[in-house]
Structure formats: structure tokens, C-alpha cells
Structure 1
């Protein structure tokens, strides 16, 4: 959710926003995190033994604290919890000082929160929930240019993504007794997943108005039954779906005809009604809302004609 929101912010929030540079930094960090997770997922897809994968999985503990885990891999004999870091440079881990020190190529040293401490917290929580299931944890370094240096006072394995298969094979040899049904337990975990909460919230007034071209990002104009780019002349009947998706991520999951016209800069309420015909209608008193599905960009053919 956070990464999708940040992508929407890059499209919709003006650079004059006081927090815009913060959002740029957060977007870059989130993009690096997603790239690192994709690298790890590439290796996980090659697993031949029965398993289930939960990615970006969140549970709430008894004190209402969130546990956001990069990967949970369920095997019949144990659960593997992975914390992924996509950081280049020489990485030195110090659990006692609760820090990860990264030495860049130019010699500059930077401090990051120690992923070992975060992973240990997740393992402790999972073990309290499922005391009969072995919980195994590891920190996976996804950046191929990283050099793993010192690992002071840590019992948690730390390795590069290409060692993941070997680590899993070793763990399967250590934990051989089946203790759970993989698919049943997977469904049980999904049922316990914490509800998604928006990381950032905006009003319609905060957003850039208009529909933007997927080809060149320029503003499009609505002409009869389609949107036409003023720059590259790309035509699209469903370009407003991305605007609706952005509105859902940043403002609300439902929208009125009037707010839709403001968002997409459409003058005719009747034209707006035709464009919104794919969306479910919600009546609240005298007000008609259109519910924006989570997968709004995929609910109709994306045709340029």
C-alpha cells in the first residue's frame, strides 16, 4: 500500500507541497525495497518443495503493534521469516548497538536501523502465536554489490539472496517433522492479516487535476468518448481509471460525480456519468457515490481506440 500511495503522490501531489521532498525520498527508498524483494522472490520461485509464500505480510500483536514482514515462507516442518535489505557498500552489523553501518565506496559511513533486531522481534512474536511450530529467520541482502562485513553479537543468519536455496535446504534437513498442513495454515494466516491502513492521506484540493497520458505523462483532454493527449496525441477511452485509482489511494474509496469532474477536469455531468458507468453505485441519503474498486485499472479493456 505505501509504495502504491507514493507512486500516486509522485503523479498527483504538486512539488510546492511542503513535504514533497520527503515523499521523493520515501519513494526512492520504497522503490529500492521493492527491487530487493523482487530479487529474493526470483530465487523463491525456483523452490521445488511444497510451500506457500506470504509477501509484505502484516500482523498485529497483543499490544496493537504492527509486525510487517517482508516474506513468510510456510513449509510443513517450519516457517521461514525473511527480512530483506537492498543496500550497497560494506555492511557491518552490531546487535548490541542496534545498528547497521554501511560504508560507501567514497568512504562515507551511514547508520541504518539494524534489521537483525527487527527480525528478532518478528520471530519472538510468531513463536508466541505458534509455540509448536519452529520459526526460522534470516536477513537477506538483495544488493549484489553489497559486501557483508562484521556481524557482532548476532545469532541470526545474514547472507546474499543467491544463498537462499542452500539455507532452505539446510533448514529442511534440520526440521524434518511435519507439524502443519501448508495450505490450511496459509489460509489461517491470511485470515489474521492486519487491515491495510493508508500511510498518507490527502484531500481532493491537494491533488493535481486532470487525466495524464500513460505514454508521456502530459495532460489529456476529454473529447467526445475518449481522452486525447495534448503532447503525443495518444488516445485512450479508459485513461480516467488511473486518476480514479490515485484518488482511491490518496483520498477515498468512493467518489461523487462532482468530485470526479473536478479531479478529471470534465465539464459535463452526463459525460462523467457515462465514464463512471463501470463502477458500483452507493446511495447515502440523497448523495450518490461511485465505489472505486481496488483493481480499477484492470476492470475494462485498456483500448486506445
Structure 2
């Protein structure tokens, strides 16, 4: 899980670092869409950044890798050497080609009057990365760049695609459509990491010592080992429940999860949170989604 978190954080950092270089793209004719994830042919495909212009589209696959990278066309793989260790990665050139194929199919379904050219690039954002490829791998030399080369590559695309194929009205419509059909990646974390939900530690963790389970007494949560007291410690516990188990919880489930002694206490806490509910009195479920929105 920590490895996944590191990879995700590294990728996010790489995408954020490109904001500096986006400033050098033509401001009037460029629209950027980030993190577009679309269901097509029963599978999701995701584009880190889609650049939309009146003349062409460009898909950017962004990688924040370090070390020595070697693109091998014979086996279509990316080999990284870092700290004396070799690792094989899926080939991002092939990945972005698949994204281009899916996007092209979606555009054809929308029946634009003229074909829309789609270019693609693999952008390496780490300034210290070393990139090499087999001499015969033409696509690697054409499609893999470092961040500072984005402006130059974009100018090449402008020279290659001089015909206007999208009006400003069509661009707005395309952005609206892609944003509408895009969905965020929200997996079941326990299922993803093969964790039995019964193995999760329940209760309200102390925000100070982060080890002890707090006790609810007279409207406050108390940690006996470190004497910390809090009136809102249950909020973080319910956020964890939403992330790990479900965004909906019943009074009975909350009472068991928070280690409360009565349904009266549970009702009191939920009334103060003012969460939306669904179902009748006996089957009532509280929607925890607003608690997650407070953390973003």
C-alpha cells in the first residue's frame, strides 16, 4: 500500500510540475483537460492530459520516473535501472497509442464533420532521468520527450496540422461532453489490497497518540492514556469508514463501529453532523460523502 501511495504521489507531482511548461503553449487556442477517464468497449482508459486546439488534439502521458530508462522496441518494454536494480515497466508509448485509438473511436461516434488529428506524447517530468532507446525504435525518438521540450514539440504539431477542424463552439461542446462522460477512479480499497474488512481496527483513534481507542463520555471523546479530549474525533473515524467500507452507514453499524454504548449517543452525533439520509426510520442510512468533501 505504501508503494502504491509513493507511485501515486510521484505521478501527481510530475503532473503538477508540467504546469510551468503549459504556460509556454499558445494561450488563445489551447484548452487542457486533466485526468479524463472514460468507459469504452467495456474498459476504462485514462488520459493524464488532453490538449484541445482548433486544429488537433494531443494526448500527454506523464511519467515522473528517475534513473536510467531504456525503451526496447523488440519486446515493447521500458526498462529502468535505478540504484543498481533493473525493473521492467509497461511501455507508455503503447499505452498512449491505445488511448489515441479509444479517443478516436469516441470522436467518430460523435460524428464530427471532419476527422480530428490526434497526436500523442510521453512526457518525462523528472529533470534527472536519463532516456535511451534502441536505434531502431523510431517512435521512442518521436514521442518521448522531457518537459522542457513540450513547447518545441507543440510547435511541430502546429506546423503539421494547419487546417482548422473544430470551431470554438465545437471545442466547448467537446470539453463538456468529455467532462460529462469522465468518471473518477474510486476502487474498493480493501478489495484492491485483499484486506478482510473484519480485520480493520474499529473505534475512534486518538488524534494525539494515534494508538489508543477513545471513549465517548458526556458529549466528548476521551483518551485515557494521554488525557486528550475532543468533541469531533468521530468525524475522522467516519471518514475512514467511508473510504474503507462504505459511504453509507446505519445507526446500528455506526454504534458498533464507533464503540458507542447506546443508539441515543449515535443519534446525537449524527444530528450534529446534519448528514443526508435515505430509507425509513428502521432502515435509515446516513450518507457520509459530505464528510469526505470537507477533506478535499
TM-score range, shorter chain: 0.7 to 0.9
Structure number with greater CO (CA < 8 Å, separation at least 6) is 1
CA-CA distance at 1:113 after TM superposition: 1.0
Distance 2:159 2:207 in 1: 50
Residue 146 and residue 226 in structure 1: after superposition, are their counterparts in 2 closer, same or farther (change >3 A)? farther
TM-score (norm 2): 0.79
Identify the residue that residue 292 of structure 1 maps to in structure 2. Answer: 288
Distance 2:229 2:152 in 1: 50
Residue 10 of structure 2 corresponds to residue 32 of structure 1:
yes
Indicate the SS of the match to 1:287: coil
Indicate the SS of the match to 2:284: strand
| Structure 1 portions without partners, runs of 5+ | 1-22, 300-305
Deviates more, 1:196-205 or 1:48-57: 196-205
CA-CA distance at 1:179 after TM superposition: 1.1
Distance 2:207 2:20 in 1: 28
CA-CA distance at 1:272 after TM superposition: 2.0
Aligned residue pairs, count? 275
**Larger-Rg structure:** 2
Indicate the SS of the match to 2:54: coil
1:240 corresponds to which of 226, 234, 238: 234
| Structure 2 portions without partners, runs of 5+ | 109-114
Identify the residue that residue 38 of structure 2 maps to in structure 1. Answer: 59
Residue 128 of structure 2 corresponds to residue 145 of structure 1:
yes
Residue pairs, 1:71-110, within 5 angstroms: 71-106=49-84, 108-110=85-87
Identify the residue that residue 277 of structure 2 maps to in structure 1. Answer: 281
Residues 58, 68 of structure 1: 8 Å contact kept: yes
Residue 85 and residue 255 in structure 1: after superposition, are their counterparts in 2 closer, same or farther (change >3 A)? same
Residue 101 and residue 253 in structure 1: after superposition, are their counterparts in 2 closer, same or farther (change >3 A)? same
TM-score (norm 1): 0.77
CA-CA distance at 1:262 after TM superposition: 2.5
Distance 2:232 2:105 in 1: 48
Distance 1:52 1:215 in 2: 45
Identify the residue that residue 250 of structure 1 maps to in structure 2. Answer: 244
Indicate the SS of the match to 1:103: strand
Residue 224 and residue 145 in structure 1: after superposition, are their counterparts in 2 closer, same or farther (change >3 A)? farther
Indicate the SS of the match to 1:118: helix
